[in-house]
Amino acid sequence: MTKKQKKVLYRIILAAVLMIVLHFVPAEGWVKLCLYLVPYLVIGYDILRKAFWGIIHGEVFDENFLMAIATVGAMILALYTELNGGEGEFAEGVAVMLFYQIGELFQSVAVGRSRKNISALMDIRPDYANVEGEDGKLEQVDPEEVEIGAVIVVLPGEKIPIDGIVTEGSSSLNTSALTGESVPREVSVGQEVISGCVNTTGLLKIRTTKEFGESTVSKILDLVENSGMKKAHTENFITRFAKYYTPAVCYSALALAVLPPVVNWLAGNDSDWNVWLFRALTFLVISCPCALVISIPLSFFGGIGGASSCGILVKGSNYLENLARTKYVVFDKTGTLTRGVFEVTAICPSSGFDGTEEGLLKYAAYAECYSNHPISKSLREAFGEEIDRTKVTDVEEIGGHGVKALVDGVKVAAGNARLMQQLGLEWEESIGVGTVVHLAVNDRYAGYILIADVIKEQSQKAIAALKAAGVRRTVMLTGDNRTIAEHVAGQLGVDEVKSELLPGDKVTAVEALLEQKKQGEMLVFVGDGVNDAPVLSRADIGVAMGAMGSDAAIEAADVVLMDDDPLKLALAIVISGKCMRIVRENIVFALAVKAICLVLGAVGIANMWIAIFADVGVMVIAVLNAIRCLKGPAHFCAG
């Protein structure tokens, strides 16, 4: 609790004790009023002051005003009863103020706590960077002062303060604060590391590649801190609602206090004005809109916080709201559903080749050893051993076909079907899908190697999970050729494929889908952030995936998935759905209880105590419900 909150707590205790004591003090009339004024002022002086200044500045109709009018009115009524020989209920006015303050205190503690929880989840801000001085001693400096290209030292247990490349040492990094992923990442010399990760085992020396302000950690903090600024429709609705609602209930209360007594008086009956005034005051207490005004933003804040603990950064509550209405999901294939790296998936020596699979792969890797093409790289990676380039001579690249070379004196040709055709050789059709590298050894067809972009393990699950989360249609866009695209789509269960697209075609394809969808349905585009900024911004919600380290993606997207797991998208939709459900629950619950109590109050069934429940009780319940947004589905995330 903060100092301010503690002060309120002491005031609450003091006022409550005073009230209990006063209950046993025999007093009447003005004396009784004065006695009860003591706890009343102890507990309510700040509300009265705020209400007073509100009226002075023309800011009537806020909850301070409501509370001041209701309690002052109750006191006057009690005094009136007392002076007319009855038993004045001074305690009621004080109690309303007391419970109002208890509710406010509770809410402020709850909000403060959830704010702290969320900041703890996002506690990735590094406080310092270690720079090695000339004498070899480590010096702690402000990360903002470290220049690009400087070498910083990260000890075990410390956060990496700035993005960079490891120049010395190896270690495993805990990335859970960034990605929600609990499996540590191994890094060694030459690898890029991202700020915000925690170094767990070994000492690392890192050459920085960015300034602190441009580093991942700063970008993410900036994004999270600003996420509250983009407000959801629901939030804006509540704001507008409160603007009309509060004056409306105030005037209704006024009407309730004035009209029935006047009508009674005109009809010649007893005007009962004190009864109606009391009902009007009850009405005012019930009507306070705090439950909505506080719980709705809290729900969104909790939802965004809960999502970020799972490595899902949502840039504003409006996106959270829209995510819950996602019906169309459009994927970019490469890097999103597939890993975006080529791998050897099959080695098929033909019957005419008198060697093993490894032998075939070795010839391919050697023949392609001078090429930088991704396919050649994947061949060398699959081979895995060091290549002795002196063994390779007479290399001849044939553009669009492949390569011919002498490997250890053996004539090797590696390339596509056209190369085989050129060499006048019969080749086997590949049974798998992907890029095929045919090989000829000593002018005889030797077999082929199949290379394909590998589908991510979670992709299939992700598509199923999206369907389960209410997504109606999944579409995959790709620049790849149709066979590959349809093969991948078939394996994953994607509804629709558009293949052989140029980058510009992707925007057109998304626009066509945008026209098809009904109003209120949302289209999400998921890309890996490379070259798809236009599509990201064109879709209702642009989601960038695997964004660790890619600033462009973080800026262009509305939702950022920190790691490259497509399942996180389904999780984001589930979280947003839960959050919106809680928001709706709170709106319906609060309004329903208020409406019922208002009616009961107007006809005189609800007394002040029910009114206090309708105000403070409903608020407490709504806040508790809103806090549930913080908890993401536990089995998914680290948080």
Partner 1 sequence: MKKTYKIEVDCANCALKMEEAAKKVEGVLEATVSFMTQKMKVEFEENADVDSVMKSVLKACRKVESDCEIFLD
Which residues does the annotation mark as catalytic?
332
**Cβ nearer to partner 1, comparing 178 with 294:** 294
Tell the smallest beta-carbon distance from residue 57 to partner 1 (Å): 5
Which tokens in the block code for residue 209?
A: 């590649």
For residues 565 and 457, the answer to whether their CB atoms sit within 8 Å is: no
Which residues would be at the binding site for partner 1 (CB under 8 A)? 4, 46, 49-50, 53-54, 57, 59, 62-63, 104, 107-108, 111, 115, 225-226, 228-229, 231, 239, 242, 289-290, 293-294, 297-298, 301
Cα dihedral 211, 562, 194, 165, rounded to 10, equals: -110
- Cβ nearer to partner 1, comparing 293 with 469: 293
Instruction: Name the nearest CA neighbour of 397 among 432, 373, 426, 361.
Output: 373
Give min distance, CB of 582 to partner 1, in A. 15
* Sole residue written with tokens 């939030």: 235
107-116 b/e (C-beta count within 10 Å ≥ 16 → b): bbbbbeebee
* Minimum CB distance to partner 1, residue 569 (Å): 25
> In the bound complex, what is the minimum distance in angstroms from residue 65's beta carbon to partner 1?
11
d(CA 8, CA 97): 12
Alpha carbon of 22 to those of 90, 231, 293, 612: distances in Å? 10, 48, 35, 21
| Minimum CB distance to partner 1 smaller for 105 or for 344 | 105
Q: How far apart are CA 306 and CA 122, in angstroms?
A: 10
The terminus-to-terminus CA distance of the chain in angstroms comes to: 23
Q: How far is the CB of 243 from partner 1 (least distance, A)?
A: 9
Which residue is associated with the tokens 């992700």? 462
Q: What is the closest distance, in whole angstroms, from the C-beta atom of residue 225 to partner 1 in the complex?
A: 6
Tell me the residue ranges of DSSP E strands in 417-562.
435-441, 444-455, 473-477, 496-498, 522-527, 541-545, 559-561
**Can you spell out the DSSP letters for 556-577?**
H-SEEESSS-THHHHHHHHHHH
| Closer by beta carbon to partner 1, 127 or else 511 | 127
| Residue labelled with tokens 């600024």 | 229
Q: Where are the beta strands (DSSP E) in 296-337?
A: 312-314, 326-332
357 contacts 448 by C-beta, under 8 angstroms: no
Based on CB atoms, which residue is closest to partner 1, 104 or 564? Answer: 104
142: left (phi over 0), alpha (psi -120 to 50) or beta: beta
Q: Shortest distance, CB of residue 53 to partner 1, whole angstroms?
A: 5
Q: Output 63 or 532, the one with its CB closest to partner 1.
A: 63
* Number of other residues whose CB lies within 10 A of the CB of residue 598: 22
- Name the residue nearer to partner 1 (CB basis): 316 or 447: 316
